[in-house]
Amino acid sequence: MSLDLVWHYAPSLLSGFAVTILCWAAGSALGLVLGFAIALLRRLHIPPLNGLIRAFIELFRGTPFLVQLFLIYAGGPSIGLKLSATAAGILGLGLYASAYFAEIFRAGFAAVPVGQIEAAASVGMTPSDTMIRVMLPGALIAAVPAIVNMLIILTKETVVLSIITVPELMYQVQTMAAETLTAFDAIFAMAIFYWILVEAVSRLGSRVETRVTAFLAHEARA
Amino acid sequence: MIELAKVSKSFGAHQVLRAVDLSVGHSEVVCLIGPSGSGKSTLLRCVNFLEPYDSGDLHIDGRLIGYEDGPNGGRRLMAPRALREMRREIGMVFQHFNLWPHMTALSNVAEPLRRVRKLQAREAADRAMAMLTRVGLAAKADAYPSRLSGGQQQRVAIARALAMQPRLMLFDEPTSALDPELVGEVLEVMKSLAAEGMTMLVVTHEMGFAAHVAGRIAFIDEGRIIDDGPPRRVFHESPEPRVRQFLQTYHDRNSF
Protein backbone atom coordinates (compact mmCIF):
# COMPACT_ATOMS: atom_id res chain seq x y z
CA MET A 1 0.00 0.00 0.00
CA SER A 2 1.14 3.51 -0.55
CA LEU A 3 0.91 6.25 2.00
CA ASP A 4 1.37 8.81 -0.78
CA LEU A 5 -1.91 7.79 -2.28
CA VAL A 6 -3.79 8.08 0.99
CA TRP A 7 -2.08 11.41 1.60
CA HIS A 8 -3.17 12.63 -1.81
CA TYR A 9 -6.77 11.76 -1.08
CA ALA A 10 -6.66 12.99 2.51
CA PRO A 11 -8.75 16.14 1.92
CA SER A 12 -11.64 14.23 0.34
CA LEU A 13 -11.40 11.46 2.92
CA LEU A 14 -11.48 13.99 5.73
CA SER A 15 -14.45 15.83 4.26
CA GLY A 16 -16.18 12.47 3.86
CA PHE A 17 -15.45 11.71 7.51
CA ALA A 18 -16.93 15.06 8.49
CA VAL A 19 -20.10 14.34 6.51
CA THR A 20 -20.30 10.87 8.11
CA ILE A 21 -20.09 12.40 11.58
CA LEU A 22 -22.67 15.05 10.70
CA CYS A 23 -25.14 12.48 9.32
CA TRP A 24 -24.58 10.16 12.27
CA ALA A 25 -25.00 12.91 14.86
CA ALA A 26 -28.04 14.53 13.23
CA GLY A 27 -29.68 11.18 12.43
CA SER A 28 -29.07 9.88 15.95
CA ALA A 29 -30.43 13.06 17.52
CA LEU A 30 -33.54 12.89 15.36
CA GLY A 31 -33.93 9.21 16.17
CA LEU A 32 -33.57 9.79 19.91
CA VAL A 33 -36.08 12.63 20.00
CA LEU A 34 -38.62 10.83 17.79
CA GLY A 35 -38.12 7.52 19.57
CA PHE A 36 -38.60 9.12 22.97
CA ALA A 37 -41.75 10.92 21.79
CA ILE A 38 -43.11 7.65 20.41
CA ALA A 39 -42.41 5.82 23.67
CA LEU A 40 -44.17 8.59 25.63
CA LEU A 41 -47.20 8.63 23.31
CA ARG A 42 -47.42 4.89 23.63
CA ARG A 43 -47.84 5.22 27.40
CA LEU A 44 -51.08 7.13 26.88
CA HIS A 45 -52.65 3.86 25.69
CA ILE A 46 -54.89 5.36 23.02
CA PRO A 47 -55.90 2.32 20.95
CA PRO A 48 -55.84 3.77 17.38
CA LEU A 49 -52.62 5.67 18.11
CA ASN A 50 -50.96 2.58 19.53
CA GLY A 51 -51.90 0.64 16.40
CA LEU A 52 -50.30 3.33 14.28
CA ILE A 53 -47.16 3.33 16.40
CA ARG A 54 -46.86 -0.43 16.21
CA ALA A 55 -47.24 -0.30 12.43
CA PHE A 56 -44.54 2.40 12.22
CA ILE A 57 -42.13 0.35 14.31
CA GLU A 58 -42.87 -2.83 12.34
CA LEU A 59 -42.29 -0.99 9.07
CA PHE A 60 -38.93 0.49 10.03
CA ARG A 61 -37.62 -2.55 11.85
CA GLY A 62 -39.00 -5.02 9.35
CA THR A 63 -37.50 -3.63 6.13
CA PRO A 64 -33.86 -3.06 5.14
CA PHE A 65 -32.51 0.41 5.82
CA LEU A 66 -31.33 0.57 2.21
CA VAL A 67 -34.89 0.14 0.94
CA GLN A 68 -36.21 2.82 3.33
CA LEU A 69 -33.53 5.21 2.16
CA PHE A 70 -34.39 4.66 -1.51
CA LEU A 71 -38.08 5.17 -0.82
CA ILE A 72 -37.43 8.50 0.91
CA TYR A 73 -34.90 9.82 -1.59
CA ALA A 74 -36.36 8.49 -4.85
CA GLY A 75 -40.00 8.18 -3.81
CA GLY A 76 -40.14 11.33 -1.69
CA PRO A 77 -40.57 13.80 -4.59
CA SER A 78 -43.76 12.04 -5.71
CA ILE A 79 -45.39 13.04 -2.41
CA GLY A 80 -43.82 16.50 -2.46
CA LEU A 81 -40.82 15.62 -0.30
CA LYS A 82 -37.90 16.92 -2.33
CA LEU A 83 -34.72 16.61 -0.32
CA SER A 84 -31.02 16.85 -0.98
CA ALA A 85 -29.19 13.55 -0.70
CA THR A 86 -27.74 14.51 2.68
CA ALA A 87 -31.07 15.72 4.07
CA ALA A 88 -32.79 12.55 2.86
CA GLY A 89 -29.98 10.51 4.41
CA ILE A 90 -30.36 12.21 7.79
CA LEU A 91 -34.15 11.89 7.73
CA GLY A 92 -33.90 8.23 6.73
CA LEU A 93 -31.36 7.45 9.42
CA GLY A 94 -33.46 9.31 12.01
CA LEU A 95 -36.69 7.46 11.16
CA TYR A 96 -34.91 4.12 11.08
CA ALA A 97 -33.22 4.80 14.42
CA SER A 98 -36.43 6.11 16.02
CA ALA A 99 -38.14 2.74 15.64
CA TYR A 100 -35.33 1.11 17.63
CA PHE A 101 -35.01 3.91 20.17
CA ALA A 102 -38.78 3.82 20.79
CA GLU A 103 -38.44 0.18 21.80
CA ILE A 104 -35.37 0.90 23.91
CA PHE A 105 -37.22 3.63 25.85
CA ARG A 106 -40.28 1.41 26.22
CA ALA A 107 -38.11 -1.26 27.82
CA GLY A 108 -36.58 1.47 30.01
CA PHE A 109 -39.98 2.49 31.35
CA ALA A 110 -40.87 -1.14 31.94
CA ALA A 111 -37.66 -1.53 33.96
CA VAL A 112 -38.71 1.00 36.61
CA PRO A 113 -39.75 -1.11 39.62
CA VAL A 114 -43.45 -0.78 40.35
CA GLY A 115 -42.64 -0.20 44.03
CA GLN A 116 -41.04 3.16 43.22
CA ILE A 117 -44.21 4.24 41.45
CA GLU A 118 -46.35 2.99 44.33
CA ALA A 119 -44.21 4.98 46.75
CA ALA A 120 -44.96 8.11 44.71
CA ALA A 121 -48.67 7.28 44.66
CA SER A 122 -48.70 6.65 48.40
CA VAL A 123 -47.54 10.20 49.17
CA GLY A 124 -50.11 11.62 46.75
CA MET A 125 -47.81 12.64 43.90
CA THR A 126 -49.50 13.53 40.62
CA PRO A 127 -48.98 11.27 37.59
CA SER A 128 -46.97 13.98 35.82
CA ASP A 129 -44.65 14.53 38.79
CA THR A 130 -44.30 10.77 39.12
CA MET A 131 -43.34 10.57 35.46
CA ILE A 132 -40.82 13.41 35.57
CA ARG A 133 -39.25 12.81 38.96
CA VAL A 134 -39.44 9.04 39.38
CA MET A 135 -40.04 7.21 36.11
CA LEU A 136 -37.95 9.24 33.67
CA PRO A 137 -34.67 9.09 35.59
CA GLY A 138 -35.11 5.38 36.20
CA ALA A 139 -36.06 4.65 32.61
CA LEU A 140 -33.17 6.66 31.16
CA ILE A 141 -30.63 5.03 33.45
CA ALA A 142 -31.93 1.60 32.50
CA ALA A 143 -31.81 2.51 28.81
CA VAL A 144 -28.24 3.88 28.66
CA PRO A 145 -26.43 0.67 27.66
CA ALA A 146 -28.93 -0.08 24.89
CA ILE A 147 -28.79 3.53 23.67
CA VAL A 148 -24.98 3.45 23.45
CA ASN A 149 -25.18 0.15 21.61
CA MET A 150 -27.62 1.58 19.08
CA LEU A 151 -25.48 4.70 18.59
CA ILE A 152 -22.54 2.46 17.71
CA ILE A 153 -24.63 0.48 15.24
CA LEU A 154 -25.74 3.74 13.65
CA THR A 155 -22.15 4.89 13.03
CA LYS A 156 -21.78 1.93 10.72
CA GLU A 157 -25.22 2.23 9.14
CA THR A 158 -24.09 5.58 7.70
CA VAL A 159 -22.16 3.74 4.97
CA VAL A 160 -25.50 2.95 3.36
CA LEU A 161 -25.99 6.67 2.67
CA SER A 162 -23.32 6.45 -0.04
CA ILE A 163 -25.88 4.60 -2.19
CA ILE A 164 -27.97 7.76 -2.53
CA THR A 165 -24.79 9.80 -3.23
CA VAL A 166 -24.38 11.43 0.18
CA PRO A 167 -20.70 12.51 0.05
CA GLU A 168 -19.79 10.69 3.25
CA LEU A 169 -16.73 8.59 3.93
CA MET A 170 -17.81 5.43 2.09
CA TYR A 171 -18.70 7.49 -0.94
CA GLN A 172 -15.28 9.19 -0.95
CA VAL A 173 -13.53 5.87 -0.48
CA GLN A 174 -15.38 4.35 -3.41
CA THR A 175 -14.39 7.32 -5.54
CA MET A 176 -10.77 6.93 -4.48
CA ALA A 177 -10.82 3.21 -5.16
CA ALA A 178 -12.33 3.70 -8.61
CA GLU A 179 -9.88 6.43 -9.59
CA THR A 180 -6.75 4.70 -8.35
CA LEU A 181 -7.76 1.08 -8.82
CA THR A 182 -6.38 0.35 -5.36
CA ALA A 183 -9.18 -1.04 -3.27
CA PHE A 184 -6.97 -2.07 -0.38
CA ASP A 185 -5.51 1.35 0.45
CA ALA A 186 -8.87 3.04 0.29
CA ILE A 187 -10.65 0.48 2.40
CA PHE A 188 -7.83 0.38 4.92
CA ALA A 189 -8.08 4.15 5.32
CA MET A 190 -11.84 3.84 5.73
CA ALA A 191 -11.56 1.17 8.42
CA ILE A 192 -9.32 3.44 10.47
CA PHE A 193 -11.75 6.31 10.30
CA TYR A 194 -14.72 4.17 11.37
CA TRP A 195 -12.69 2.61 14.12
CA ILE A 196 -11.87 6.08 15.46
CA LEU A 197 -15.54 7.04 15.45
CA VAL A 198 -16.79 3.82 17.05
CA GLU A 199 -14.06 3.94 19.65
CA ALA A 200 -14.93 7.53 20.53
CA VAL A 201 -18.64 6.75 20.84
CA SER A 202 -18.14 3.65 22.94
CA ARG A 203 -15.65 5.36 25.28
CA LEU A 204 -18.01 8.26 25.76
CA GLY A 205 -20.84 5.78 26.24
CA SER A 206 -19.14 3.78 28.95
CA ARG A 207 -18.21 6.99 30.72
CA VAL A 208 -21.84 8.09 30.78
CA GLU A 209 -22.87 4.61 31.86
CA THR A 210 -20.41 4.58 34.76
CA ARG A 211 -21.62 7.97 35.92
CA VAL A 212 -25.35 7.34 35.83
CA THR A 213 -25.14 3.90 37.37
CA ALA A 214 -22.58 4.81 40.05
CA PHE A 215 -25.16 5.22 42.77
CA LEU A 216 -26.98 2.03 41.78
CA ALA A 217 -23.86 -0.05 42.32
CA HIS A 218 -25.14 -2.01 45.25
CA GLU A 219 -28.80 -2.01 44.42
CA ALA A 220 -28.86 -5.77 44.10
CA ARG A 221 -28.32 -5.90 47.84
CA ALA A 222 -31.66 -4.26 48.53
CA MET B 1 -60.07 6.54 62.44
CA ILE B 2 -59.95 3.58 60.03
CA GLU B 3 -63.26 1.77 59.64
CA LEU B 4 -63.63 -1.28 57.43
CA ALA B 5 -67.11 -2.70 56.94
CA LYS B 6 -67.60 -5.84 54.87
CA VAL B 7 -64.62 -5.09 52.68
CA SER B 8 -64.17 -7.74 49.99
CA LYS B 9 -61.65 -8.15 47.21
CA SER B 10 -60.97 -10.76 44.55
CA PHE B 11 -58.12 -11.34 42.15
CA GLY B 12 -60.01 -13.00 39.32
CA ALA B 13 -61.73 -16.06 40.74
CA HIS B 14 -59.65 -16.00 43.90
CA GLN B 15 -61.32 -14.15 46.76
CA VAL B 16 -58.58 -12.57 48.89
CA LEU B 17 -60.69 -10.61 51.35
CA ARG B 18 -64.05 -11.85 52.56
CA ALA B 19 -66.25 -9.21 54.16
CA VAL B 20 -63.59 -7.90 56.51
CA ASP B 21 -64.69 -5.73 59.44
CA LEU B 22 -61.97 -3.90 61.32
CA SER B 23 -61.62 -0.62 63.11
CA VAL B 24 -58.54 1.23 64.27
CA GLY B 25 -59.06 4.09 66.70
CA HIS B 26 -57.10 7.30 67.04
CA SER B 27 -53.57 6.65 68.41
CA GLU B 28 -54.20 2.94 68.36
CA VAL B 29 -51.59 0.46 67.13
CA VAL B 30 -53.08 -2.60 65.49
CA CYS B 31 -50.94 -5.47 64.18
CA LEU B 32 -52.24 -7.73 61.44
CA ILE B 33 -50.77 -11.19 61.67
CA GLY B 34 -51.49 -14.44 59.90
CA PRO B 35 -50.05 -16.96 57.45
CA SER B 36 -48.67 -15.80 54.10
CA GLY B 37 -51.28 -15.55 51.40
CA SER B 38 -53.94 -14.87 54.01
CA GLY B 39 -54.65 -11.40 52.59
CA LYS B 40 -53.05 -9.19 55.23
CA SER B 41 -50.92 -7.17 52.82
CA THR B 42 -53.84 -6.81 50.44
CA LEU B 43 -55.98 -5.57 53.31
CA LEU B 44 -53.36 -2.99 54.26
CA ARG B 45 -53.00 -1.83 50.66
CA CYS B 46 -56.75 -1.33 50.42
CA VAL B 47 -56.57 1.25 53.20
CA ASN B 48 -54.81 3.78 50.96
CA PHE B 49 -56.44 2.29 47.88
CA LEU B 50 -53.18 1.17 46.27
CA GLU B 51 -55.25 -1.97 45.91
CA PRO B 52 -58.88 -1.22 45.06
CA TYR B 53 -61.39 -3.21 47.11
CA ASP B 54 -64.44 -4.51 45.25
CA SER B 55 -67.21 -4.03 47.77
CA GLY B 56 -67.86 -2.89 51.31
CA ASP B 57 -66.94 0.46 52.84
CA LEU B 58 -63.56 1.70 53.97
CA HIS B 59 -63.67 5.02 55.80
CA ILE B 60 -60.70 7.11 56.89
CA ASP B 61 -61.75 9.74 59.43
CA GLY B 62 -65.32 9.31 58.28
CA ARG B 63 -64.55 9.69 54.59
CA LEU B 64 -64.96 6.80 52.15
CA ILE B 65 -61.70 6.13 50.29
CA GLY B 66 -61.53 5.15 46.63
CA TYR B 67 -65.15 5.63 45.67
CA GLU B 68 -67.67 8.44 45.46
CA ASP B 69 -71.40 8.54 44.84
CA GLY B 70 -72.22 8.10 41.18
CA PRO B 71 -75.43 8.86 39.31
CA ASN B 72 -78.53 6.72 39.99
CA GLY B 73 -77.46 5.60 43.44
CA GLY B 74 -74.40 3.57 42.49
CA ARG B 75 -70.79 4.47 43.19
CA ARG B 76 -67.87 5.09 40.96
CA LEU B 77 -64.12 5.47 41.35
CA MET B 78 -63.13 8.58 43.22
CA ALA B 79 -61.66 11.46 41.23
CA PRO B 80 -57.86 11.00 41.11
CA ARG B 81 -57.30 14.40 42.71
CA ALA B 82 -59.53 13.57 45.68
CA LEU B 83 -57.77 10.24 46.13
CA ARG B 84 -54.38 11.96 46.10
CA GLU B 85 -55.59 14.38 48.77
CA MET B 86 -56.61 11.48 50.99
CA ARG B 87 -53.35 9.62 50.41
CA ARG B 88 -51.35 12.63 51.59
CA GLU B 89 -52.72 12.01 55.07
CA ILE B 90 -51.83 8.31 55.06
CA GLY B 91 -48.17 7.37 55.38
CA MET B 92 -47.06 4.04 53.99
CA VAL B 93 -43.92 2.00 54.56
CA PHE B 94 -43.22 -0.91 52.22
CA GLN B 95 -41.50 -4.24 52.68
CA HIS B 96 -38.86 -3.38 50.08
CA PHE B 97 -38.50 0.28 51.15
CA ASN B 98 -39.18 1.57 47.64
CA LEU B 99 -36.82 4.50 47.94
CA TRP B 100 -36.05 6.36 44.71
CA PRO B 101 -32.52 5.16 43.89
CA HIS B 102 -31.47 8.23 41.91
CA MET B 103 -32.05 10.56 44.87
CA THR B 104 -30.05 10.98 48.08
CA ALA B 105 -31.63 10.08 51.41
CA LEU B 106 -32.40 13.76 51.98
CA SER B 107 -33.97 14.19 48.53
CA ASN B 108 -36.08 11.08 49.02
CA VAL B 109 -37.61 12.72 52.08
CA ALA B 110 -37.75 16.24 50.64
CA GLU B 111 -39.20 15.30 47.24
CA PRO B 112 -42.83 14.73 48.35
CA LEU B 113 -42.65 17.90 50.45
CA ARG B 114 -41.69 19.89 47.40
CA ARG B 115 -44.00 18.26 44.84
CA VAL B 116 -47.00 17.49 47.02
CA ARG B 117 -46.85 19.91 49.95
CA LYS B 118 -45.40 22.59 47.66
CA LEU B 119 -42.73 23.69 50.13
CA GLN B 120 -39.78 25.82 48.99
CA ALA B 121 -36.53 23.92 48.45
CA ARG B 122 -34.97 25.32 51.62
CA GLU B 123 -37.95 24.62 53.83
CA ALA B 124 -38.36 21.10 52.40
CA ALA B 125 -34.67 20.35 53.00
CA ASP B 126 -34.88 21.63 56.57
CA ARG B 127 -37.91 19.52 57.37
CA ALA B 128 -36.39 16.49 55.64
CA MET B 129 -33.23 16.92 57.70
CA ALA B 130 -35.28 17.09 60.89
CA MET B 131 -37.00 13.83 59.93
CA LEU B 132 -33.71 12.10 59.14
CA THR B 133 -32.38 13.27 62.49
CA ARG B 134 -35.40 11.78 64.15
CA VAL B 135 -34.73 8.35 62.65
CA GLY B 136 -31.05 8.70 63.51
CA LEU B 137 -29.73 9.20 59.98
CA ALA B 138 -28.72 12.85 59.80
CA ALA B 139 -25.17 11.76 58.97
CA LYS B 140 -26.42 9.83 55.93
CA ALA B 141 -28.41 12.69 54.39
CA ASP B 142 -26.23 12.86 51.28
CA ALA B 143 -25.92 9.12 50.75
CA TYR B 144 -27.73 7.38 47.94
CA PRO B 145 -29.94 4.45 48.94
CA SER B 146 -27.52 1.95 47.40
CA ARG B 147 -24.92 3.03 49.98
CA LEU B 148 -27.24 2.38 52.92
CA SER B 149 -27.98 -0.85 54.73
CA GLY B 150 -31.48 -2.26 54.52
CA GLY B 151 -32.27 -1.02 58.01
CA GLN B 152 -31.06 2.47 57.12
CA GLN B 153 -33.05 2.46 53.90
CA GLN B 154 -36.18 1.50 55.77
CA ARG B 155 -35.62 4.29 58.28
CA VAL B 156 -35.28 6.76 55.40
CA ALA B 157 -38.54 5.40 54.02
CA ILE B 158 -40.19 5.95 57.39
CA ALA B 159 -38.81 9.50 57.47
CA ARG B 160 -40.20 10.10 53.98
CA ALA B 161 -43.67 9.03 55.10
CA LEU B 162 -43.49 10.95 58.39
CA ALA B 163 -42.33 14.18 56.76
CA MET B 164 -45.74 14.44 55.13
CA GLN B 165 -47.20 14.67 58.65
CA PRO B 166 -49.72 11.90 58.06
CA ARG B 167 -52.60 11.23 60.41
CA LEU B 168 -51.98 7.51 60.28
CA MET B 169 -49.23 5.16 59.17
CA LEU B 170 -49.43 1.85 57.35
CA PHE B 171 -46.55 -0.62 57.60
CA ASP B 172 -46.40 -3.53 55.15
CA GLU B 173 -44.00 -6.10 56.64
CA PRO B 174 -41.41 -3.38 57.26
CA THR B 175 -38.74 -5.73 58.61
CA SER B 176 -39.31 -8.84 56.48
CA ALA B 177 -36.63 -7.95 53.94
CA LEU B 178 -33.99 -7.14 56.56
CA ASP B 179 -31.09 -9.11 57.98
CA PRO B 180 -32.07 -10.20 61.49
CA GLU B 181 -29.59 -7.87 63.15
CA LEU B 182 -31.00 -4.84 61.33
CA VAL B 183 -34.57 -5.48 62.41
CA GLY B 184 -34.13 -3.87 65.82
CA GLU B 185 -33.27 -0.36 64.60
CA VAL B 186 -36.43 -0.21 62.49
CA LEU B 187 -38.63 -1.56 65.28
CA GLU B 188 -37.14 1.04 67.66
CA VAL B 189 -38.27 3.86 65.36
CA MET B 190 -41.72 2.30 65.11
CA LYS B 191 -41.93 1.93 68.88
CA SER B 192 -41.11 5.58 69.42
CA LEU B 193 -43.79 6.53 66.89
CA ALA B 194 -46.33 4.43 68.74
CA ALA B 195 -45.29 6.03 72.02
CA GLU B 196 -45.93 9.45 70.52
CA GLY B 197 -49.48 8.46 69.75
CA MET B 198 -49.32 7.78 66.01
CA THR B 199 -52.19 5.71 64.68
CA MET B 200 -50.59 2.63 63.13
CA LEU B 201 -51.75 -0.40 61.19
CA VAL B 202 -48.89 -2.87 60.89
CA VAL B 203 -48.61 -6.10 58.93
CA THR B 204 -45.81 -8.02 60.59
CA HIS B 205 -44.26 -11.33 61.47
CA GLU B 206 -42.46 -9.78 64.45
CA MET B 207 -44.50 -11.35 67.22
CA GLY B 208 -42.37 -9.74 69.92
CA PHE B 209 -43.10 -6.29 68.52
CA ALA B 210 -46.78 -7.15 68.17
CA ALA B 211 -46.93 -8.42 71.74
CA HIS B 212 -45.25 -5.39 73.27
CA VAL B 213 -46.33 -2.47 71.13
CA ALA B 214 -49.70 -3.31 69.63
CA GLY B 215 -52.86 -2.39 71.46
CA ARG B 216 -54.68 -5.01 69.47
CA ILE B 217 -53.87 -7.98 67.29
CA ALA B 218 -56.04 -8.97 64.36
CA PHE B 219 -55.41 -12.48 63.06
CA ILE B 220 -56.34 -12.95 59.44
CA ASP B 221 -56.72 -16.29 57.68
CA GLU B 222 -58.06 -16.99 54.21
CA GLY B 223 -59.30 -13.44 53.84
CA ARG B 224 -61.19 -13.33 57.15
CA ILE B 225 -60.32 -11.83 60.48
CA ILE B 226 -60.82 -14.80 62.75
CA ASP B 227 -59.59 -13.24 65.97
CA ASP B 228 -59.22 -9.66 67.12
CA GLY B 229 -58.26 -8.59 70.60
CA PRO B 230 -55.50 -7.48 73.01
CA PRO B 231 -52.15 -9.24 72.38
CA ARG B 232 -52.21 -11.16 75.63
CA ARG B 233 -55.57 -12.69 74.84
CA VAL B 234 -54.86 -13.48 71.16
CA PHE B 235 -51.41 -14.88 71.88
CA HIS B 236 -52.32 -16.97 74.91
CA GLU B 237 -56.06 -17.56 75.08
CA SER B 238 -57.36 -17.57 71.53
CA PRO B 239 -60.38 -19.82 71.10
CA GLU B 240 -59.45 -20.29 67.44
CA PRO B 241 -57.51 -23.50 66.70
CA ARG B 242 -56.00 -21.92 63.56
CA VAL B 243 -54.51 -19.09 65.63
CA ARG B 244 -53.10 -21.47 68.24
CA GLN B 245 -51.62 -23.68 65.52
CA PHE B 246 -49.98 -20.69 63.78
CA LEU B 247 -48.47 -19.43 67.02
CA GLN B 248 -47.29 -22.92 67.98
CA THR B 249 -45.49 -23.28 64.66
CA TYR B 250 -43.96 -19.85 65.12
CA HIS B 251 -42.91 -20.73 68.63
CA ASP B 252 -41.33 -24.04 67.60
CA ARG B 253 -39.41 -22.41 64.78
CA ASN B 254 -38.01 -19.68 67.00
CA SER B 255 -36.92 -21.75 69.96
CA PHE B 256 -33.46 -23.19 70.11
Give the tens place of pLDDT for each residue, B191-224: 999 999 999 999 999 999 999 999 999 999 999 9
Indicate whether B169 pLDDT > 50: yes
Predicted-complex ipTM score: 0.94
A12 pLDDT band, cuts 50/70/90, is confident
Interface test with chain B among A114, A122, A125, by most B beta carbons within 10 Å: A122
Global pTM reads 0.85
What is the predicted pLDDT for the residue at A222?
38
Residues 6+ apart with CB under 8 A from A51: none
What pLDDT, in 10s, does the model give residues B25-60? Answer: 999 999 999 998 899 999 999 999 999 999 999 999
**Nearest-CA neighbor of B97 among B49, B135, B130?**
B135
Q: How far B44 CA sits from the closest chain A CA (Å)? A: 12
Q: How far B232 CA sits from the closest chain A CA (Å)? A: 33
Task: Check A121 against B87: CB less than 8 A apart.
Answer: yes
For residue A107, the SS3 value is helix
Judge whether B97 is closer than 8 Å to chain A, CB to CB. yes
A67 pLDDT band, cuts 50/70/90, is very high
Instruction: Return residues 190-219 of A near B (CB < 8 Å).
Output: 215-219
A219 pLDDT band, cuts 50/70/90, is very low
Of A123, A217, A222, the CB nearest to B116: A123
What pLDDT, in 10s, does the model give residues A51-65? Answer: 999 999 999 999 999
Averaged confidence pLDDT in chain B: 94
Indicate whether A7 pLDDT > 90: no
A1 pLDDT band, cuts 50/70/90, is low
What is the predicted pLDDT for the residue at A215?
63
For the beta carbon of residue B72, count every other beta carbon within 10 angstroms. 5
Indicate whether B90 pLDDT > 60: yes
Indicate whether A217 pLDDT > 80: no
Instruction: Supply the angle between the helices A183-213 and A10-42 in degrees, to the nearest 10.
Output: 40
Task: Check A222 against B100: CB less than 8 A apart.
Answer: no
> Using alpha carbons only, how large is chain A's radius of gyration in Å?
21
b/e string for B183-202 if b means 16 or more Cβ within 10 A?
bebbbebbeebbeeebbbbb
Task: Check A133 against B100: CB less than 8 A apart.
Answer: yes
What pLDDT, in 10s, does the model give residues A115-174? Answer: 999 999 999 999 999 999 999 999 998 999 999 999 999 998 998 998 888 888 888 888
Indicate whether A6 pLDDT > 60: yes
Of A119, A125, A141, the CB nearest to B115: A125
Interface test with chain A among B45, B95, B115, by most A beta carbons within 10 Å: B115
What is the predicted pLDDT for the residue at B253?
82
Residue of chain A whose Cα is closest to the Cα of B84: A124
What is the predicted pLDDT for the residue at A182?
77
